[in-house]
Chain A
């Protein structure tokens, strides 16, 4: 509707982005830095200038061009107009907001956190994790609840969902087979227990509190599986009324928002690692977008936490059809005297409810394991890519090699395989195979000498490689997520949350807290290693 008028919004937004990027480029190139560069240096964000200029120029150009088009000929109702042209202005505005959060607010809070540390005794920016992801969600949340989203931005904000999905799909390229197998087995066990446990808990609580069965059914699907979409997916089989769905959505959103803001600081205080937090967030937080947000708030610089959390999240989403079926059976049992409920066909439900983005994720993973994104000599092993091509840059210093030699001669290593690997390391001056790198790392266990341990670690690090394509993909992925999460914040309206009420809220809060606390302890007690 808003797209039908000739709107200058996209052109204005595009030009703002372009002008900013070009200005920054000029200020950077000038012998005497201009005001913008001084500001960047003050914020200690000088390193980000290249990204800012690069993304700004291409995004600004594209949005401006579409802006001219939108001005000359208003976006109509064709699919392309609705999906691409109409959202341009809003999407551009969200890129500007992402810029603000990533390049201005985050560095600013970092500075403030440090400045306030002597007075407070702790760095509030680190403890609360005031990084651009969290600031983006907060900015979106504050924006929508104060100014509200203007009409020209609305269709752009809706693209946030797509952006998040694109982010998850590209994430698929970042796993190795070993990782996926390891995380998959772990998540399958945890999620099975927690999905079933939560569903049963909610149904039991509902019975205790005498809540109508349709509402109980919708709530239990939402609390157990994946939040609001599960609640609505389960609605038809339990014959839920519109108001039951509205209640549940409000409830689930509230529980999710609380989790989103409390999980990361708690984890930081108790000192969880990436694997532990990913598993906890993926199990304990309800909505998909909120899981991704929590993982990135905890750790925005590497993607390790996100990788773990998303596997848990995807596993949980795949449980949806089974929960729908179980609810259908449960509901039919209680309604025996009434006419038989909706007939359920397992095969159809699985096909209907299978999320397409998971398919995309798997395709990306498959492509990535064939090696299309990586140069031929790169091998993915565990977390990292390796390149074993002989190269002077990868060589260890003679001093360090002598240390290794002395260590071999000391006879501390009894394992012949490790010994052989170390001997080869000394001979080649660098590691040359996957097996060898594992063995060299294992050698750390045989010494207490910190320097020597570091030598082994360095030897491994020196053969690690960063494939360009994947690095670029990672950067784009982070933009998808940052963009999507501002949109997430913009959907958390007080209006929606307020719908949660009455007994449904009590059950939701009890089940939500139970799930969060129990999954915390399970993770804390049983998940120890790293990826």
Chain B
């Protein structure tokens, strides 16, 4: 069995991660945690250098976060992988669920507000309607 958790660093995605890890432990499943650095769109006014600054900051933070999660979960789980991707969160998550033939997708119900809402919130609903597998929405 293969479980995919979408993680954006918010409180809700932490809950989702915990739930996903619990199930993985119980089912002896492999766990994949994905963090998507969102494509923010408005990058033209920024120019190439500033766009680079923005995305490299976001990517560094995501990679650090994922590394922490991996180190932490490796203690109790055998098969844990993490991945940082760039693009539209919902699309990427569905893509990965497809290509990795995931059996269960775990997402948080919503983020807090503002930027965090952007990561999950509407992302959850998009994922639910497009995912190729069961989706667990953690509240």
Write the residues of chain A forming the contact surface with B, with a CB cutoff of 8 angstroms. 157-158, 160-161, 227-229, 232-233, 235-236, 240-243, 245-247, 249-250, 253, 287-289, 487-488, 491-493, 495-496, 498-502, 504-505
Q: Complex Cα distance A157/B116, Å?
A: 28
**Which residues of B lie under 8 Å from residue A287 when comparing CB positions?**
45
Please give, as numbers and ranges, the residues of chain B lying within 8 Å of A499 by CB-CB distance.
40, 114-115, 118
Q: Which residue of chain A is the closest to B43 with respect to CB atoms?
A: A491
Note all chain B residues with C-beta closer than 8 A to A500. Answer: 114
| Contacting residues, chain B, for A498 (C-beta < 8 A) | 114, 117-118
On chain B, the residues within 8 Å of A496 by CB distance are 40-42
CB <8 Å contact, A501 and B114:
yes
Ranked 10 nearest A-B pairs via Cβ: A501-B114, A242-B58, A232-B50, A242-B57, A501-B113, A493-B41, A499-B115, A161-B44, A496-B42, A496-B41
* With known contacts A498-B118, A501-B115, A493–B61 Cβ distance under 8 A: no
Q: Which of A242, A247, A288, A488 contacts B114 (CB 8 A)?
A: A247
Cα distance A233–B52 in the bound complex, in angstroms = 11
Q: Is the beta-carbon distance between B42 and A245 smaller than 8 angstroms?
A: no
Q: Is the CB of B42 within 8 A of A161?
A: no
Residues from chain B with a CB closer than 8 A to the CB of A504 are 114
Q: Which residues of A contact B1 (CB under 8 A)?
A: none
Q: Which of B47, B57, B113, B114 contacts A245 (CB 8 A)?
A: B57
Are A491 and B114 interface neighbours, CB within 8 A?
A: no
Across the two chains, which residue of chain A brings its CB closest to B47?
Answer: A229
* Contact residues in B for A228 (Cβ distance below 8 Å): 42, 45-46, 50
Partner among A158, A161, A235 whose Cβ is within 8 Å of the Cβ of B53:
A235
User: Which residue of chain B has the shortest Cβ distance to A289 in the bound complex?
Assistant: B45
In the complex, whether B96 has a CB less than 8 A from a CB of chain A is no
A505 vs B117: C-alpha distance in the bound complex, in angstroms? Answer: 14
- Would A242 and B45 be within 8 Å (CB), given that A236-B53, A501-B114, A505-B114 are in contact? no
Chain B 94-133: CB-based contact to A (< 8 A → 1; otherwise 0): 0000000000000000001111111000000000000000
Instruction: Give every chain B residue within 8 A of A240 (Cβ-Cβ).
Output: 57
The reply to whether B42 and A493 contact each other, CB–CB distance below 8 Å, is yes
User: Known contacts being A236-B53, A493-B41, is A229 close to B46, with CB within 8 Å?
Assistant: yes
A121 → B minimal CB distance (Å): 38
**Contact of A495 (CB < 8 Å), options: B41, B60, B116:** B41
Residues of A within 8 A of B112 (CB): 502
Residue-wise interface mask of B (50-71) relative to A, using a CB-CB cutoff of 8 A (1 in contact, 0 not): 1001100110110000000000
* Sample of 24 A–B contacts (CB below 8 Å): A157-B44, A160-B44, A161-B45, A161-B47, A228-B42, A228-B46, A232-B46, A235-B57, A236-B53, A242-B60, A242-B61, A243-B58, A245-B54, A246-B54, A247-B115, A249-B42, A487-B44, A488-B44, A495-B118, A496-B42, A498-B117, A498-B118, A502-B112, A504-B114
A254 to chain B, nearest CB (A): 11
Q: How far apart are A184's CB and chain B's nearest CB, in angstroms? A: 24
A157 cross-chain contacts in B, Cβ below 8 A: 44
Pick the contact of A246 from B53, B58, B60, B113 — CB < 8 Å? B58
A502 touches B45 (CB 8 A): no
Q: Do the beta carbons of A502 and B44 come within 8 Å of each other? A: no
Give bound CA distance, A160 to B53, whole Å.
21
Known A249-B40, A250-B114, A501-B115; judge A227-B57 contact (CB<8 A): no
What separation, in Å, do the CA atoms of A246 and B115 have in the docked complex?
7
Q: How far is the CA of A402 from the CA of B41 in the complex (A)?
A: 66
Judging by beta carbons under 8 Å apart, are B45 and A229 in contact? yes
> Contact between B42 and A502 (Cβ–Cβ < 8 Å)?
no
Q: A246-B40, A249-B42 are in contact. Are A502 and B114 (CB under 8 A)?
A: yes
Residues on the A chain within 8 Å of B53, using CB: 232, 235-236
- Name 7 extra pairs, CB < 8 A, besides A228-B45, A249-B54, A496-B41: A161-B47, A242-B54, A246-B40, A498-B114, A502-B112, A502-B113, A502-B114
- The complex places the Cα of A500 from the Cα of B58 at a distance, in Å, of 16
Report the bound CA distance from A243 to B114 in whole Å: 10
**Beta-carbon contact of A288 and B45 below 8 Å:** yes
Cα distance A492–B116 in the bound complex, in angstroms: 19
Q: Please indicate the chain B residues that have their CB under 8 angstroms from the CB of A289 in the complex.
A: 45
Taken together as a complex, chains A and B put the C-alpha atoms of A289 and B45 apart, in Å, by 7
Query: Would you give the shortest CB distance from A490 to chain B, in whole angstroms?
Result: 9
